[in-house]
């Protein structure tokens, strides 16, 4: 564990690395290396910062000339080393691209999963090969370019020439200049500039016809018809011609989904979605920063404008590096389309999280191995308690089947037997009530997870023993250091990248969210006008004045301290008393 920063760290721009004996754990950049690294060792550091320090045993840095250089170096190193505490584009290296070999004498257009520094143009990444193949099929329907492999062309025509799908540079049916024009048009098409291509192709068609080059004019005519047919199928959503990528995002359980609407010439020409994962819960701004760097740093074409729903870290630096404008609309058509992109991101993320994948299967296998279970825990139930000073106390039970949430089986509990502040006793009550219900249904879980420590675990164990004896594997997961409390009294820790731990954390966090949501709902329902009666300084007249000012008891609950202070007869001190009581 690192205890203190490097004493001679310079006040310069650069990139820093936290390491353990085996790997780089985290890569970051800083305008001032000394100040940024020092911030990790203060009391104001984040949970993520503390965990990085706990697992690191060394720290080094690279000084750069400026912030742009630091940003580029950080992006390249994250891609190369894939540190576990950096946000990562999921399966980044396997996404396919469309490659245009513009350095070749007769360039080709094809898909690849490998980006090389060979002067070629790359479009993507696409999230599946199907999207790439559809794009390539459309290009080959419109542009009669060669599909044969290799830099050098053969010396005889293939079937594509005879069925009108290639202009056959191999047998001299087209000059190098004419072939290059087709490639340039295909590149413009990949950029989404279909209107511009239509005008160019139409002009070429008429020129070829005037010059009595009827075979070439026929090719251009077929191109033009295909382009216009494609244009009709694209939805017009904006009146201006600015090329934009509108980016929606949603995040849950350390996984984010980004949806990109590609808008060209006012029309939506393509939609893609990507997943980014983080070992720790991160802010939306962090996900967006990581995504923009991953997607556009190697792109051959970047739109004029990127539209986002929230601020992004280092906005000005990104704009300068990627040579584009970042815009966050507040209203209007762009805001409407952005909301639609966010909605699509949420739907894609929910679908991904509810889908049994190899990742969840591996997590269940890992769980079985770690806790020496007789069978794979296909049904896991997680429990948590939520209350404030013993009021509005509730419990939650979430159910995961085959590693994914079974939300229809979630249950909420109002605490009935415990009136004081006693979380372990409340856990005991909730677990007891739940097990009684499941006994009648003959549907006991394979594994039980308690959100808490030793006290909560013992209360749950006693509740189960009193009903059936201890036949269900059970543990508790404490938030602070993610320590696992076992029925034997021992405490164990799993590596942060353990699939079993990730699944346990996800279940624990979901139980916490579900309990907290129910607690807030009950508290909001209870906190009506009658709550004001509990405040000694509020009499009938002041109560009436407050209602007249805000219009309802519900509005008082959402009012800020400053807003309450503005009410006639309510001073600063009383406003603070009212606000603190209601919140």
Give the domain CATH number at 24.
3.40.1440.10
Instruction: Please state, in angstroms and rounded to a whole number, the distance separating the CA atoms of residues 258 and 273.
Output: 5
Q: Is the residue at 371 inside a domain?
A: yes
Are 227 and 165 members of one domain?
Answer: yes
Q: Is the residue at 506 inside a domain?
A: yes
Average the pLDDT over 123-131 and give the result: 69
Cβ-proximal residues to 514 (8 Å cutoff; 6+ apart), any chain:
384, 396, 398, 410, 412
Are 495 and 550 members of one domain?
Answer: no
Domain stops at, among 304, 320, 353: 353
Are 200 and 171 members of one domain?
Answer: yes
DSSP 486: P
Are 474 and 388 members of one domain?
Answer: yes
Q: Which segment, 4-8, 152-156, 229-233, 347-351, is predicted with the most confidence on average?
A: 347-351
The pLDDT, as a whole number, for residue 78 is: 83
Are 102 and 78 members of one domain?
Answer: no
CATH code of the domain containing 426: 3.30.420.340
Average the pLDDT over 459-468 and give the result: 87
CATH code of the domain containing 334: 3.30.420
The pLDDT, as a whole number, for residue 353 is: 75
Are 110 and 159 members of one domain?
Answer: yes
CATH code of the domain containing 544: 1.10.150.20
Helix (H) or strand (E) holding 522, with range, is helix 499-526
pLDDT, one tens digit per residue, over 494-511 is: 887 788 998 999 899 899
Q: Is 192 left (phi over 0), alpha (psi -120 to 50) or beta?
A: left
Are 257 and 276 members of one domain?
Answer: yes
The pLDDT, as a whole number, for residue 64 is: 84
pLDDT, one tens digit per residue, over 171-216 is: 888 888 888 888 888 887 777 666 666 777 777 788 878 888 777 7
Give the structural domain span for 319. Answer: 244-353
Domain stops at, among 235, 254, 274: 235
For residue 228, what are its two tokens?
A: 């216009």
Are 44 and 104 members of one domain?
Answer: no
- Evaluate if residue 426 carries a pLDDT over 70: yes
The phi and psi torsions of 330 (rounded to 5 degrees) equal -105, -25
- Evaluate if residue 530 carries a pLDDT over 60: no
Are 407 and 345 members of one domain?
Answer: no
Q: Is the residue at 3 inside a domain?
A: no
The pLDDT, as a whole number, for residue 234 is: 45
Averaged pLDDT score across all residues of the chain: 81
Q: Is the residue at 9 inside a domain?
A: no
Domain stops at, among 524, 548, 574: 524
Total structural domains within the chain: 5
pLDDT, one tens digit per residue, over 243-299 is: 889 999 988 766 788 999 888 777 777 788 888 876 555 677 878 888 888 888 777
Are 531 and 482 members of one domain?
Answer: no
12-21, 284-293, 305-314: which range is least confident on average? 284-293
pLDDT, one tens digit per residue, over 234-243 is: 444 556 778 8
Of the chain, the percentage scoring pLDDT greater than 70 comes to 86
Are 184 and 331 members of one domain?
Answer: no
Q: Is the residue at 5 inside a domain?
A: no
Are 343 and 293 members of one domain?
Answer: yes
Instruction: Report residue 233's pLDDT band, with 50, 70 and 90 as the boundaries.
Output: very low
85-94, 281-290, 388-397: which range is least confident on average? 85-94
Q: Are 477 and 504 in contact (CB under 8 A)?
A: yes
Instruction: Report residue 382's pLDDT band, with 50, 70 and 90 as the boundaries.
Output: very high
pLDDT, one tens digit per residue, over 150-171 is: 777 877 888 887 777 788 888 8
Q: Is the residue at 190 inside a domain?
A: yes
Instruction: Report residue 529's pLDDT band, with 50, 70 and 90 as the boundaries.
Output: very low
Q: Is the residue at 517 inside a domain?
A: yes
Find the angle CA(453)-CA(455)-CA(456) to the nearest 5 degrees: 70
62-71, 120-129, 268-277, 509-518: which range is least confident on average? 120-129
The pLDDT, as a whole number, for residue 576 is: 83
The pLDDT, as a whole number, for residue 241 is: 73
Q: Which segment, 35-39, 121-125, 545-549, is predicted with the most confidence on average?
A: 35-39
Place of tokens 């190098």: 176
Average the pLDDT over 54-69 and give the result: 84
Q: Is the residue at 111 inside a domain?
A: yes
């Amino acid at each position: 564990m690192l205890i203190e920063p490097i004493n001679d760290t310079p006040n310069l721009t650069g990139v820093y690395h936290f390491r353990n004996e085996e790997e780089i754990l985290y890569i970051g950049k800083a305008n001032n290396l000394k100040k940024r690294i020092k911030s990790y060792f203060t009391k104001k550091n984040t949970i993520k910062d503390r965990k990085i320090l706990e697992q690191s045993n060394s720290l080094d840095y690279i000084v750069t000339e400026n912030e742009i250089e630091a940003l580029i170096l950080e992006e390249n190193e994250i891609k190369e080393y894939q540190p576990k505490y950096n946000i990562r584009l999921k399966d980044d290296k396997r996404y396919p691209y469309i490659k245009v070999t513009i350095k070749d004498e007769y360039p080709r257009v094809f898909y690849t999963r490998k980006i090389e520094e060979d002067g070629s143009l790359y479009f993507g990444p696409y999230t599946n090969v199907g999207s790439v193949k559809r794009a390539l099929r459309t290009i080959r329907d419109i542009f009669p370019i060669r599909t044969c492999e290799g830099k050098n062309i053969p010396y005889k025509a293939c079937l594509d020439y005879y069925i009108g799908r290639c202009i056959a540079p191999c047998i001299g049916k087209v000059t190098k200049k004419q072939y290059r024009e087709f490639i340039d048009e295909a590149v413009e098409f990949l950029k989404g500039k279909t209107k511009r291509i239509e005008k160019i192709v139409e002009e070429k068609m008429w020129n070829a016809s005037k010059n009595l080059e009827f075979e070439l004019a026929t090719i251009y005519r077929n191109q033009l018809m295909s382009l216009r047919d494609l244009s009709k199928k694209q939805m017009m959503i904006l009146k201006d011609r600015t090329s934009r990528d509108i980016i929606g995002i949603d995040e849950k359980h350390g996984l984010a989904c980004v949806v990109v609407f590609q808008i060209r010439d006012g029309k939506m020409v393509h939609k893609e979605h990507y997943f980014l994962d983080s070992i720790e819960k991160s802010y939306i701004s962090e996900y967006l920063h990581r995504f923009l760097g991953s997607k556009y740093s190697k792109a051959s074409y970047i739109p004029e404008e990127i539209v986002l729903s929230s601020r992004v870290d280092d906005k000005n630096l990104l704009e300068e590096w990627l040579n584009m404008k970042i815009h966050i609309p507040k209203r209007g058509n762009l805001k409407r389309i952005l909301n639609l992109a966010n909605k699509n991101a949420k739907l894609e993320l929910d679908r991904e999280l509810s889908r049994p994948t190899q990742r969840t299967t591996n997590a269940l296998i890992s769980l079985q191995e770690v806790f020496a279970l007789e069978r794979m825990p296909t049904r896991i139930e997680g429990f948590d308690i939520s209350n404030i000073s013993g009021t509005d106390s509730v419990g939650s039970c979430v159910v995961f089947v085959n590693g994914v949430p079974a939300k229809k089986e979630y249950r909420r509990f109002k605490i009935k037997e415990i009136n004081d502040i006693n979380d372990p006793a409340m856990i005991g009550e909730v677990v007891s009530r739940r097990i009684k219900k499941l006994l009648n249904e003959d549907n006991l879980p394979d594994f039980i997870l308690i959100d808490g420590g030793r006290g909560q675990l013992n209360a749950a164990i006693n509740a189960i023993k009193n009903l059936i004896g201890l036949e269900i594997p059970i543990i508790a997961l404490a938030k602070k250091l993610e320590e696992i409390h076992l029925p034997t009294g021992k405490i164990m820790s799993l590596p942060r990248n353990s699939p079993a731990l990730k699944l346990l954390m996800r279940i624990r966090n979901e139980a916490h969210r579900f309990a907290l949501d129910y607690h807030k709902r009950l508290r909001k329902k209870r906190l009506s006008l009658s709550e004001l009666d509990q405040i000694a300084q509020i009499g009938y007249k002041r109560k009436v004045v407050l209602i007249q000012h805000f219009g309802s008891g519900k509005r008082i609950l959402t009012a800020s301290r400053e807003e309450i202070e503005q009410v006639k007869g309510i001073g600063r001190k009383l406003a603070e008393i009212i606000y603190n009581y209601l919140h």
